[in-house]
Structure 1
Amino acid sequence: MVKRILNCKHTSLGRSTIDGVEVESFQTTDPNFMDGSMGEVDVKIWAAVKTSLPVRIEVDKSEENKGHLHIVVCDFQWDVPVDAAEFEPVIPDHYTPGRPMLQILPKKKPAADEETSMNQEAEKKKRAMQAEMGMKMLAMSKQAVIDEEAAIKGLKLFAELDSSYPEALDMPVLVSELARIVKGGGPSAKAFRETIQGMTDEEAMNYKLETVLSAQGLGRFYQTLVQDKKDPAYYGKSVTPEDADQVLMRWKVSDNEYRVIFGTLKAETVTAEALAELEKLPLE
């Protein structure tokens, strides 16, 4: 954590003492922190002068219409002896692999008597399919090509489901936005759920899997741009799918050229001077 802050743009806050330990503190608001996965965030860390180990960490993050998040991590204990037996996992007999990303999407509605008629063999089969799909999602995620096409596919998904774009492209926001949309009452969300109802269990799982991976591809592409210091910017808070001339997203591709995705998801390469003019255009 200390190295991550020092590798970003940061400010030294000087030395002080916490619980009798001399510490040096640093602060960063650099969007590159944690490879951009946290979005806009304010992080402070106090590290012991003698060991360079964290003594206290504070994280502040605000999201529009979602309030303010303040996290404090303290009372660290380092080099504490532990028994190896404590690391032995205790797995309940009824445990099945979870599907946290897929669980944000609506399930196919079962028939009225399905729960009462399902026998143990059918339940085992269902669990096996869920585990298989979890592994499939992991494999597909690793094999996915993360590029401009993946980003446009993800943006198109949100435009079709909600007639708007996500407010930000860090992964927590994308997951939250996708969950809100597909569980909402809009016509696109209802159509999404109706589509699932007409599918078999496996078809529905694959459909939801593709949906989640599209959102992931968008977030991972933007995160890659941040990591590679491509000077990316995203304007989903204000740009809509109808804004043909507005810059929705852009990143640097050469010393004097930027790749731009407009509100209508048209993409083209422009000079830095042309980009500056485009970003001056007022929203109608």
Structure 2
Amino acid sequence: MNDLTPGELDRLESAHETFSPKNGVAKARLLEALTADVPRHPRSQWKARFEAMRGNRIQIAMAAALVMAVVGVWQSTSPRSLFGATLQAMIDAKGYSCDMFDIAPGDGGDENATLGSRVFWALNGDERIEGIALGKVREIEIHRPGRSGLKLLPDAKEFKVLDESISREFSFGLFGQLSQYKGRAESRLGAKEIRGCKVNGFVIPWSSLTGREAPGNAKLSIWLDSSTSLPVRVDCTGFVPNQAGVVRLENFQWGVQDAKLFDTSIPPGYAPAPKSDVTDEQITEYVVYGLSVFAKYNNGKYPAVKYVYGDEQGEALRSLMGMDPKAQGWVKLDKKIVWKTPKEGEFAHGTSGLSWINGLQREHPECVYHGRTVTSKDAEKVLLRWRRDDGRYRVIFGDLRASDESAERLKELEAK
């Protein structure tokens, strides 16, 4: 056991919690845990928490959008001169860094804060995100507008070049979009002090700022320095369904960031990260199963969203199926597992299949999901597609058939 990695030890520990020699399902989970390669249901161990927070980073991601959200609020609720001062202050700063914390309720009303990431941002749109667990940087992602990025795994000394076309939910380009926000703050939080700073706070729905979906009833609570109008704290709530946790951006350091932070040169001693041993055929099988289960219990309709967040759509499936809150979900499709009822298996494997879509949207270039407009009745329309390593596109149609198509053929299909 001493040769196991921290991640393997964590998966073994979490599976062992529910293991019983008389429980065939739990035994299967134990055997599967050491080779799990899909998002698991969030647990309390550091690795599971790190993966959950990594998902939150991508959903909330990145500070550029949050800062421009602040501009939008001041634009719609404050005098024009104050908005001008806020915008000018951010331009003058030319960059910033901040910490991202996972805030959970503690005993007696206290907060338990876990540092999950550090964010660095430059005025030209370059971004660096450092994923942290147990006080160590476990993962680094560098994104640069219009250019390839870099992902580093310091523990394994591995790297992955990030294609410039990999979808980013938020980027420097939102400056123009969010500065046009005309909405109003949902409520004012009043004035208080945070770390010796006098601040004023607002609550704003995330969707009204970005025009994009987010899990649950996602909101931002934004606290601005009364003297500089710059953010001091940003609390993001409602991003994880049925959880009361908060993702907090704090410890903002405004100013020009070191250009070396955004250097995408491969460090000495790093090797290419091995490609996933999960094939496109397997991914297709998992995804098709998840979508088929969702459509079965939703009158032939797939998740009607642009971004398929695994937790959100998994909980939606739980509701559609009328499953107990304790029903096990997010288990990789495995026909060898025998469930007490077929419905339990549908939910367990269906939620896992839906989570794979979010993984495709995060990691695969040019992945697009058309669940808003395509249903199971649209047999010839493209429901989901992503670009394979060979340049072709894996296409899943409305009737859940799959095929590989050229870029030219894909354009014809999506024009239907």
TM-score by length of 2: 0.33
TM-score calculated relative to the size of structure 1: 0.47
More strand by share: 2
Structure ID, larger Rg: 1
- Please identify which structure carries the higher helix content: 1
